[in-house]
Amino acid sequence: MNEQTTDSTTHFTALDGLPAQGRVIVYGSGGAAMTVVKQLHIHRPDVTVPCLLDTFNTGEAGGLRIFRLADLEQLSGSYDLILIASAWWRDISRDLSRLGVNNWKVAAPSLWHKYIYSREDMDRIVPELEAVNAMLATAKDREIFRFMTECRLENSPLVSTEKISPEIRDYPAIRQTVFGHLTEQYMDFVNIEAIGTVLHAGAFDGTDCVKFLDGFPKLTTVHGFEPQGTKRFSETALTTVTGSGRVHIHQKGLWNEATSVTLTGEGQHTTLNPDASPGLVTGSIDTVSIDEFTDEFGIEQVDYICLDVEGAEERVLNGARRTIDRCRPQLAVCIYHRKDDFYRLPLMLNDRLDRYVYRLGHYHNFLNETVLYATPEELLK
């Protein structure tokens, strides 16, 4: 095989492009690699995955031993192809070529990227996408949903894949047109006069807590949940929330039950991941459900629930059923952390909630920061 380039002409491969009965080492040890390994087991059972390869990690993941790139020479003769499954595929492919290794390919992004769908996979979920489109309140919401859906299609002309994450092309113009009516994340479409108590999961650096203090005139209490506590708060944010006397930061994870859950990732990418392989675990955190929390602290009314919990949104909502039914809060839910959250979470909420109105916002030049807002009909401005 000739040495492959690592720019936009790089040859991506689908699973049917792998050699029959091949021995394929998957490069990567995180969620992307595990997704590709799972896809191989399901759709290419003739292919054997002898191990994983990684630039930094060792140990095991998904029952497979992880070798570092520096140890690749000892694997000579035990594989036919290296399949890269990582957002860092450009750096990895250059490293491999620099070592004189040319029998590698890059897995098609739709196989591992949490935002990207193949045409075949997109066609399978057309009924669900149409159902979400139908539940949204206005033409502008539906325009955003259609635009973001088209952005998620593999090889979409609406996005550039030259960076680590797909980026919306001509974003300044799109920001003024498709997203031109949006103002501020977690504040759009919210009846601010009806908010006294806020439950905010994913407080991270305190920015949103400060935003709520400034923007909700009748605010009495913010309960912020953050596995890192106030570690990432700026000095200004920490001073503001502490001085307000109205913000309480709980170093817990919101979940569907009280338990202890392993963590992966660092900083803003810290994720509750109960199924993480030991080599990827960065810690653990005690969790609580919203229903348990409101019971424990005797909170009678919750007016706003804001969820940015790195893929745990469904679990948190499952642990908040009694509170939501009793209090009928406004909600802002991130619907981008897991690949299918984009349509599954809206449909789940629409199935559970009675007489709510749904709006949609997107707040980034990449495909993250898509937020579904749900407002009880009686609170519409």
What span, in angstroms and rounded, lies between the C-alpha atoms of 149 and 379? 29
Q: Where in the chain is the domain with CATH 3.40.50.720?
A: 12-111
Beta strands in 147-206 (DSSP E): 159-160, 167-168, 197-201
What span, in angstroms and rounded, lies between the C-alpha atoms of 306 and 365? 21
Q: Where in the chain is the domain with CATH 3.40.50.150?
A: 128-379
Supply the pLDDT for residue 370.
Answer: 98
Supply the pLDDT for residue 207.
Answer: 97
Q: What is the mean pLDDT of each run of 10 residues along the chain (381 residues)?
A: 42 93 96 94 97 92 93 94 95 94 95 94 97 98 98 96 90 98 98 98 96 98 96 96 97 96 84 84 94 98 97 97 98 96 98 98 97 98 68
Is residue 355 a contact partner of residue 328, using CB atoms and an 8 Å limit? no
Is residue 163 a contact partner of residue 265, using CB atoms and an 8 Å limit? no
Is residue 219 a contact partner of residue 195, using CB atoms and an 8 Å limit? yes
CATH topology of domain 128-379: Rossmann fold (3.40.50)
pTM of the model: 0.92
- Helix (H) or strand (E) segment spanning residue 176: helix 171-176
CATH code of the domain occupying 12-111: 3.40.50.720
Is residue 370 a contact partner of residue 361, using CB atoms and an 8 Å limit? yes
Supply the pLDDT for residue 39.
Answer: 95
